[in-house]
């Protein structure tokens, strides 16, 4: 039986509509383990889930992202139905807010409860529907490991021109939660074990083969629908292998705990073209859907440290990512209203050509997300502290450039919609920052191309950490490097036509020339940054004839990248 028939066959009776507490479950909060679903018995609970075509068409989202999200939504609906919860599952061409409004009017549903939406876009959409009459109330979202008060108690009231160092927040969260703490002291005597982590990977230990999650009939049906309805979107559903049911999500996580965590810390910054996941968890996709919960993961990892099943350095390295970076990033997004509050403090990018694959191009989306205000509240912020504005080239769509590190990472994104943190930061974003590609365009690309991307996490990572477009709010200096870093941390350069040890001339690696010319180009803005002293000292020692060669090599590299045509998406 198709999913539609299965879920409709169990449509709630009139009695249920009137007598249950109805909860709207957003697409990214698929959990009954915490939150309003568990606050009363299953027989007193009803949930509403909306599968919105308008939302899916808003950007040319990776087909695997749509598949994993929709398949998890459908599995979640049936899992809840099986425990006695009444389920209203609505397929709609409208936005989530408008679909809920129509449903409430049609069925006379009482006021809905919803946890405060994580995505700004959903908040706006629901607010808009509320103004048109949707009766909905918001409850605190217990799936986060921290609250907004934790952020403001750490740093004081938000100030747009300030720098926010994540480590302060992380230490405070360790103290507040007692995680990896011995009384008031951090376990092992220090909060960070970064010096023990971050080694290159040279096959020191075997890399375990992750478990497989072949699509069941629900997922098969979703994949077929995605291929039909979203044929023009980025990426592929080929070899779809992500969990969709709660037991599979839990098995996926247990594999990380048992087999990957012991080596996570040591090799968290290493990159390989033969082991793309290495010891990373890939948990982001399920965490960001609510199928895995951050505090559960943190407690599981803490227990492994206590049992000696993984080193403290590895466990701390993982907990820092989830309790530190993940929570910090979402607060930065919320505090800055998705970087809109920086408008008067950081130079902004002006570029009408960005409309090429902006959400506004999709007619269905424009209709579903109307904007009555002179300034479109859905339009993404465009900080560009370093004045970057070049168009994103075809290599990000998987067109081969000859730069093996970039081609490897881009091919993985096209195929899987995922790479681990370091190819995102030190390859894909590093290239963009060095070349001066538009931070907004890069953000939009990350947003539609990655399976784990949502506004609250992708915008601070790209506009903040990865490109320094926010002028140093999120990162105290730009994360940029020449070939030396990539060469040290990966096996890419051994399989590349370019030589990472040559900085200019035929066969030289473009990253190095791009790095030095980036420093030159941004001297006025970056030279006084205390953390940039060493690179600027090194730049000052380069003789002018070498700088001339570097400039020529960098210009040639940017022109080469721009010469490929890219496929069009999103319309």
Ligand X SMILES: Cc1cc2nc3c(=O)[nH]c(=O)nc-3n(C[C@H](O)[C@H](O)[C@H](O)COP(=O)(O)OP(=O)(O)OC[C@H]3O[C@@H](n4cnc5c(N)ncnc54)[C@H](O)[C@@H]3O)c2cc1C
Site residues for ligand SF4 per CB under 6 A = 403-405, 483, 486-487, 492-493, 496, 498, 500, 509, 511
Assess 280 for contact with ligand X (CB under 6 A). Answer: yes
Nearer to ligand X, 315 or 458 (CB): 458
Q: In this structure, are residues 54 and 150 in contact, taking their beta carbons and an 8 Å threshold? A: no
- The first and second tokens of residue 61, run together, are 């989202």
Q: In this structure, are residues 213 and 245 in contact, taking their beta carbons and an 8 Å threshold? A: no
CA distance 10 to 22: 16
Alpha helices in 258-293 (DSSP H): 261-264, 284-287
Assess 434 for contact with ligand X (CB under 6 A). Answer: no
Q: In this structure, are residues 92 and 50 in contact, taking their beta carbons and an 8 Å threshold? A: yes
CA distance 349 to 355: 13
Neighbouring C-alpha atoms within 13 Å toward the C-beta of 257: 18
In the complex, the smallest distance separating the C-beta of residue 162 from ligand X, rounded to whole angstroms, is 19
In the complex, the smallest distance separating the C-beta of residue 483 from ligand SF4, rounded to whole angstroms, is 4
Query: C-alpha 307: how far from its chain's center?
Result: 31
CA distance 226 to 66: 7
Torsions phi, psi of 180, nearest 5? 50, 40
Q: Would the CA dihedral through 486, 488, 490, 492 be positive or negative?
A: positive
What is 130-156 written as a DSSP string? HHTT--EEEE--TTSSS-HHHHHHHH-
Scanning 215-223, 324-332, 344-352, 379-387 for contacts with ligand X by CB under 6 A, the matching segment is 324-332
In the complex, the smallest distance separating the C-beta of residue 197 from ligand X, rounded to whole angstroms, is 11
CA distance 76 to 26: 11
Alpha helices in 157-241 (DSSP H): 166-177, 217-229
Nearer to ligand X, 322 or 394 (CB): 322
Nearer to ligand X, 45 or 177 (CB): 177
Assess 281 for contact with ligand X (CB under 6 A). Answer: yes
The separation between the first and the last C-alpha atoms of the chain, rounded to the nearest angstrom, is 32
Assess 322 for contact with ligand X (CB under 6 A). Answer: yes
Assess 237 for contact with ligand X (CB under 6 A). Answer: no
* Separation in Å, CA 182 to CA 9, 178, 192: 54, 8, 15
From the list ligand X, ligand SF4, none, partner contacted by residue 281 (C-beta under 5 to 8 A by kind): ligand X
One of 146, 284, 336, 408 touching ligand X (CB under 6 A)? 284
Scanning 36-44, 352-360, 402-410, 416-424 for contacts with ligand X by CB under 6 A, the matching segment is 416-424
In the complex, the smallest distance separating the C-beta of residue 467 from ligand SF4, rounded to whole angstroms, is 19
Scanning 81-89, 190-198, 401-409, 451-459 for contacts with ligand X by CB under 6 A, the matching segment is 451-459
In the shown chain, the binding pattern of residues 239 to 278 toward ligand X, with x for contact by CB under 6 A and - for none, equals ----------------------------------------
Whose structure tokens read 């690179």? 535
One of 59, 74, 120, 326 touching ligand X (CB under 6 A)? 326
Nearer to ligand X, 53 or 288 (CB): 288
Nearest to 418 by CA among 508, 303, 528, 284: 284
Helix axes 533-540, 510-521, angle to 10 degrees: 100
Scanning 18-26, 457-465, 504-512, 549-557 for contacts with ligand X by CB under 6 A, the matching segment is 457-465
Assess 329 for contact with ligand X (CB under 6 A). Answer: yes
Assess 525 for contact with ligand X (CB under 6 A). Answer: no
From the list ligand SF4, ligand X, none, partner contacted by residue 511 (C-beta under 5 to 8 A by kind): ligand SF4
Nearer to ligand X, 240 or 450 (CB): 450
One of 71, 311, 461, 512 touching ligand X (CB under 6 A)? 461
CA distance 474 to 337: 14
From the list ligand X, ligand SF4, none, partner contacted by residue 487 (C-beta under 5 to 8 A by kind): ligand SF4
Could you give the strand order of the β-sheet that contains 136-139, starting from the edge strand earlier in sequence?
86-92, 45-52, 21-24, 112-115, 136-139
Whose structure tokens read 């941390």? 489
CA distance 217 to 342: 47
In the shown chain, the binding pattern of residues 465 to 504 toward ligand X, with x for contact by CB under 6 A and - for none, equals xx--------------------------------------
Assess 283 for contact with ligand X (CB under 6 A). Answer: yes
One of 378, 450, 498, 516 touching ligand X (CB under 6 A)? 450
- The first and second tokens of residue 554, run together, are 């960098």
Assess 549 for contact with ligand X (CB under 6 A). Answer: no
From the list ligand X, ligand SF4, none, partner contacted by residue 395 (C-beta under 5 to 8 A by kind): none
In the complex, the smallest distance separating the C-beta of residue 515 from ligand SF4, rounded to whole angstroms, is 10
One of 124, 173, 218, 453 touching ligand X (CB under 6 A)? 453
- The first and second tokens of residue 382, run together, are 């465009």
Query: Contact residues for ligand X (CB under 6 A)?
Result: 280-284, 287-288, 318, 321-322, 325-326, 329, 420-421, 424-425, 429, 446, 450, 452-453, 457-458, 461-462, 465-466
């Amino acid at each position: 039986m198709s999913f539609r028939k299965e879920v409709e066959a169990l449509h709630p009776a009139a009695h249920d509509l009137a007598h249950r507490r109805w909860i709207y479950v957003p697409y990214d909060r698929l959990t009954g383990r915490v939150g309003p679903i568990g606050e009363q018995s299953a027989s007193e609970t009803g949930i509403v889930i909306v599968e919105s075509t308008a939302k899916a068409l808003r950007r040319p989202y990776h087909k695997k992202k749509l598949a994993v999200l929709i398949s998890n939504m459908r599995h979640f609906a049936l899992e809840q139905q099986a425990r006695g919860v009444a389920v209203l599952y609505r397929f709609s061409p409208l936005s989530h807010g408008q679909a809920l409004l129509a449903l409430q009017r049609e069925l006379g549903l009482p006021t809905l409860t919803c946890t405060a939406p994580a995505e700004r876009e959903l908040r706006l959409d629901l607010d808009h529907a509320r103004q048109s009459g949707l009766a909905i109330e918001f409850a605190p979202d217990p799936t986060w490991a921290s609250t907004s008060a934790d952020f403001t108690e750490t740093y004081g009231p938000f100030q747009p021109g300030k720098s926010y160092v994540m480590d302060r927040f992380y230490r405070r969260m360790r103290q507040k939660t007692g995680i990896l703490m011995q009384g008031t002291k951090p376990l092992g005597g220090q909060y960070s074990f970064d010096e023990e982590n971050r080694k290159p990977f040279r096959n020191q230990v075997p890399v375990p083969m992750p478990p497989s999650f072949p699509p069941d009939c629900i997922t098969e049906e979703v994949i077929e629908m995605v291929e039909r309805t979203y044929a023009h979107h980025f990426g592929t559903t080929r070899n779809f292998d992500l969990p969709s049911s709660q037991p599979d999500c839990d098995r996926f996580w247990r594999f990380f705990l048992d087999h990957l965590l012991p080596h996570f810390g040591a090799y968290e910054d290493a990159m390989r073209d033969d082991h793309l996941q290495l010891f990373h968890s890939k948990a982001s996709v399920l965490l960001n859907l609510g199928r895995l919960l951050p505090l559960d993961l943190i407690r599981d990892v803490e227990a492994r440290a206590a049992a000696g099943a993984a080193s403290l350095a590895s466990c701390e390295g993982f907990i820092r990512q989830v309790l530190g970076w993940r929570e910090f990033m979402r607060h930065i997004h919320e505090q800055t209203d998705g970087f809109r509050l920086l408008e008067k403090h950081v130079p902004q990018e002006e570029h009408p050509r960005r409309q090429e694959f902006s959400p506004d191009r999709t007619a269905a989306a424009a209709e579903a997300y109307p904007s009555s205000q002179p300034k479109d509240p859905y339009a993404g912020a465009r900080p560009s502290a370093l004045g970057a504005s070049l168009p994103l080239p075809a290599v990000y769509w998987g067109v081969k450039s000859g730069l093996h590190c970039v081609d490897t990472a881009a091919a993985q994104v096209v195929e899987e919609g995922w790479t681990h943190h370091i190819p995102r930061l030190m390859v894909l974003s590093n290239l963009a920052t060095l070349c001066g590609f538009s931070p907004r365009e890069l953000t939009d690309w990350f947003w539609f191309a990655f399976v784990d991307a949502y506004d609250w996490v992708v915008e601070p990572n790209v506009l903040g950490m990865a490109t320094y477009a926010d002028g140093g709010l999120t990162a105290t200096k730009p994360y940029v490097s020449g070939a030396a870093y990539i060469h040290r941390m990966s096996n890419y350069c051994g399989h590349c036509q370019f030589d990472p040890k040559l900085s200019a001339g035929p066969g030289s690696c473009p990253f190095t020339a791009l790095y030095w010319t980036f420093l030159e180009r941004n001297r006025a803005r970056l030279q006084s940054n205390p953390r940039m002293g060493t690179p600027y000292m090194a730049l000052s020692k380069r003789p002018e004839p070498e700088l001339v060669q570097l400039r020529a090599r960098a210009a040639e590299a940017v022109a080469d990248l721009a010469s490929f045509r890219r496929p069009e998406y999103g319309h």
